[in-house]
Amino acid sequence: MKHTALHCSLVFAFALGACAAGFAQATKVEVELGFDALTLAPGERQLFLDDFILGDLNGVTRVIHQPKKYEGNPIIRADLPTDGQAIQIRDAPSWDDREQVWKLWYMRFGDDGNGAGGSGFARSKDGLHWEKPDLGLVEVHGSKHNNIVTVQGDPKAFTQHILIDPAAPPARRYKCLIGERGRQPAVSADGFTFSKLDVPMIPSQDESHCNWDPVRREYLLTVKHTGPFGRSVYLSLSSDFEHWTEPELIYHADALDQQLGEDYIRAVETNPRLWRPTVNHTDEYNVEIYNMPVFRYEGVYIGFPNYFESSGRIPLPRGNQDGVNSPKLAVSRDLHAWTHVGDRAHFLPISEMAPGVMDTGQIFLSSHPIRRGDELWLYYSGIDVRHRPNVPRVIDEYHGGIFLAKLRLDGFVSFHGGADGGFLDTRPVRLQGGGLFVNATAAGELRAEITGPDGRTPLPGWEAAHCVAITGDHMRAELKWERKSLAELAGRRVRIRFRLRDADLYSFWLEP
């Protein structure tokens, strides 16, 4: 797995069933006002995407871990006449517990339009091998033998964000949003034929993402509107899929992004292994946020902001922009205030050019990862270019498919301690639970000690020397002290200090 060192400074979640156990688990860190301590409830995993849980650091480095691209990519190709030469997704596959199958609806870029009408449908038993069943609903080129879904009264409607809601009445079990500009809620009993709801359209430009938050019990819809430096991300919320809040600006590029984007475009332009944009106007370099899926993971909200690092404008009649599109990482505790993760490195960068490789120009991550065992599966769109200037037909413009990348569970970032060792400790916390567990790898070792709330002196018997060392690769390893039980410290204000030597710590949590 590739690492980039950083400076220290659901299906739809409720439809994943057993396959997503733990992924959308609600987590809560309760701030005990007046005591400057956090109560860590059992089961709440603590990650290091931001500094919220951290106290002191010494000799450790925060590392972002890029997902590993699946060797069998692309997993779904544009292989039907109605697909055209490119297909894309914005939504992760949905697990249908009734049929015991994964379902995926994708955007088609066929010769019947750019982002053509109804979505194409595919299904899979394992998430890797997909079939496109003949639905027989929509006539294209004189035939209904295709996999296209439809909207009653509007067969050319552009459908996106088709999600399974197992708790809904049968007629509304499937939900989606319709429209290339603006998003109109719609529902379906089977996921193939949708009916528009008689409710106002949510304002949006041509990009959006939708997820369900099982803690807030709200739909999270991020849409694209103009903001500082251009394309930006706005948030709209709904508890019933009918009434939506006015979109609110939550994420946009800033001045540092402009400098980093300029450096990146220059690096791409000089790397012979990477696709080179066809337009390179240094006076027009600009960075915008093309879209951003937002999803709940443990106690935080994670965003995959897609950074469009533009190399300049394409001449008319095309008149768009050239450049590179790929995601980075951001985190929030409240959906409104967002923190860049680490040094703003690319989380899933474009691939080097090679025969048959298509994710060389643009990468768009889907709405959320899916937990499969001890891995997070991230489905994404891969496209070979940004734009080819002034090509007369959209179908000739680019090639794209649906890809998969895999990440260690909780593996977005870790703290790494080198050969000389280092430590990180928490801010003052109150413990509940009988065991302290970690997700970690240790070529050397990982130990922990418990100190008083000032972080100075280990409590007697809780020193690192009395902690049984963790070695090897563990998704779930318990830290134990000689003749001590963590239950003895229940309710006390303490700090947990993790000592790392040739080791990476991804997350920690308490269990009963």
Report whether 341 contacts 328 (CB < 8 A).
Answer: yes
Quick one: fold of 68-413? Tachylectin-2; Chain A (2.115.10)
Q: What is the mean pLDDT of the chain?
A: 90
**pLDDT the model gives residue 387:** 78
**pLDDT the model gives residue 33:** 34
Confidence check: pLDDT of 458 > 90: yes
User: What 3-state class would DSSP assign to 295?
Assistant: strand
- 6: confidence class by pLDDT, cuts 50, 70, 90: very low
Segment 99-113, tens digit of pLDDT:
999 999 999 986 665
Higher pLDDT pick, 32 / 235:
235
**What percentage of the chain carries pLDDT values higher than 90?**
80
Average pLDDT over residues 459-481: 97
Confidence check: pLDDT of 416 > 50: yes
**pLDDT the model gives residue 332:** 98
Segment 67-99, tens digit of pLDDT:
999 999 999 999 999 998 899 999 999 999 999
Higher pLDDT pick, 4 / 362:
362
* Domain 3-66+414-511, CATH number (from 3.20.190, 2.60.120, 3.30.2290, 1.20.140): 2.60.120
- 392: confidence class by pLDDT, cuts 50, 70, 90: low
Average pLDDT over residues 296-309: 97
Question: Given its phi and psi angles, is residue 308 left (phi above 0), alpha (psi -120 to 50 degrees) or beta?
Answer: beta
**pLDDT the model gives residue 391:** 60
Task: From 417, 449, 430, 437, select the one nearest 479 (Cα to Cα).
Answer: 437
User: What 3-state class would DSSP assign to 485?
Assistant: coil
Spatial separation of the C-alpha atoms in residues 403 and 365, rounded to whole Å: 9
Output the six-digit token pair for 92: 């992760």
Task: From 300, 293, 308, 441, select the one nearest 369 (Cα to Cα).
Answer: 293
Average pLDDT over residues 35-63: 91
Provide the 10 A C-beta neighbour count for residue 172. 16
- 352: confidence class by pLDDT, cuts 50, 70, 90: very high
**What percentage of the chain carries pLDDT values higher than 70?**
90
Provide the 10 A C-beta neighbour count for residue 298. 21
Higher pLDDT pick, 97 / 388:
97
Report whether 196 contacts 184 (CB < 8 A).
Answer: yes
Average pLDDT over residues 134-155: 93
This prediction has a pTM of: 0.91
Indicate the domain borders of the chain: 3-66+414-511, 68-413
Segment 374-386, tens digit of pLDDT:
999 999 999 999 8
Average pLDDT over residues 150-169: 93
**pLDDT the model gives residue 393:** 52
**pLDDT the model gives residue 283:** 95
